[in-house]
Amino acid sequence: MRSLIVKIGLLLVMPFPAWAHTIVVAPGTKVATIKQAIALAKNGDTIRVEKGTYISLNTIVDKELTILGQNQPVLDARFQEEVLTITARHVKLDGFIIKNSRTGSMRDFAGIRLSNVEFVTISNNTLVNNFFGIYLSNCKHIQVLHNRITGSNNIENSGNGIHLWKCKEILLNGNYVTRHRDGIYFEFAKKCLIENNFSEKNIRYGLHFMFSDDDTYRHNTFKNNGSGVSVMYTRRIAMLDNTFIENWGSSIYGVLLKEITDARIEGNHFIRNTTGIYMENSDRITVTHNDFISNGWAMRVLASCNKDHFTQNNYKGNSFDVTTNGTLKEIYFNDNYWDKYEGYDLNKDGTGDIPYRPISLYAQIIEQNPQSVMLMRSFIVNLIDKVERAIPSITPESVKDEKPRMKPWKR
């Protein structure tokens, strides 16, 4: 992944040719639109756009240019077209307000579209009321940095904030995305890095992977989305040091995993979500060094999952630590901290002397009969859970932590 950052970063230090010129765009001058400036420009030139509002109906950038906005000039499509499309390599677009793209059911209109290009940087722009915000199609070696993207929050007229289709080695860093369908959407996007982004209040997912292998997302925050992150039909995803917070509601998750393999979930914080992690048909997943705090369900692991490992995690203040819908096989818990553990440590080695079984009888009852949630924290529920822990009869005997920690892991 370091090589990806270095490779993409090289475009920023590429020297401009000695003969490059700067063309200034300003209202009321001879060059009053970006289209005029692009027509006059040659590869390597810079276009500087002064403060003002410019109508932009699908302006095409088909030359290798640096286009800089001064004091955030506005490019407005007035809901008639896309705002701007980049079809040339080695383009930098920085410092604009881009707004009001057209919406439609037959075509994905966007604020900024990149099509079949490489070595392009999109940075420090504000996108407002566009159907799709930034749309990358068949691109490589692209940087999307520090943009602020706000959709309409209308279910019928909301595309995705940042949308990738068939892309490779893309860097998304420091963007804020809200009120779109998905905050960030990946489909057939491979070997990408997503870091330091904030995705909140999106209608469906904060981040969504489909058929996208070998990607890494780290140090992001996903707050109050339809669900935090969804990873589907994907291999070898690394999910590192992210925060999933307050993704609340019926069938809402911090992370949803469906038919994925060989993923790492490490160093994340799951705080006050309906369900921290939901796993279905997901194999060889490693979940380690995470904090699960005050969730409804810390984890729901369906019986279709295999060979998953959960180690050195902290489980604190969750209504339920783990639930499942059947018999779990080859699911391993080891060396985790569970605040519900009531065992003892006679030899004072920091590890409990008796195993902890994270699946409670009441959790299993709720899995089969959701209406029984009304009995939560009642005396009878506490009683049957304690009896079940002493003499397990229904909860899976195989699901247990043989070495529960007596104190939480320090991060």
pTM of the model: 0.90
Tally Cβ neighbours within 10 Å of residue 295.
27
Share of the chain above pLDDT 70, in %: 88
Share of the chain above pLDDT 90, in %: 78
- Is the pLDDT at 13 greater than 50, yes or no? no
- Is the pLDDT at 7 greater than 60, yes or no? no
- Report the relative pairing of strands 264-266 and 238-240 from DSSP bridges: parallel
Q: How far apart are CA 404 and CA 352, in angstroms?
A: 5
User: Domain spanning 20-151+161-201 has what CATH number?
Assistant: 2.160.20.10
Q: What is the pLDDT of residues 186-234, one digit of tens each?
A: 999 999 999 999 999 999 999 999 999 999 999 999 999 999 999 999 9
Q: How far apart are CA 253 and CA 270, in angstroms?
A: 10
Q: How far apart are CA 352 and CA 86, in angstroms?
A: 60
> What are the C-alpha distances in Å from 175 to residues 123, 134, 195, 219, 329?
9, 11, 9, 12, 40
Q: What is the pLDDT of residues 54-72, one digit of tens each?
A: 999 999 999 999 999 999 9
Which of 304, 343, 295, 341 shows the shortest CA–CA distance to 325? 304
- Is the pLDDT at 382 greater than 90, yes or no? no
pLDDT-based confidence at 377, cuts 50/70/90?
low
| Domain boundaries defined on the chain | 20-151+161-201
Give the pLDDT of residue 314: 98
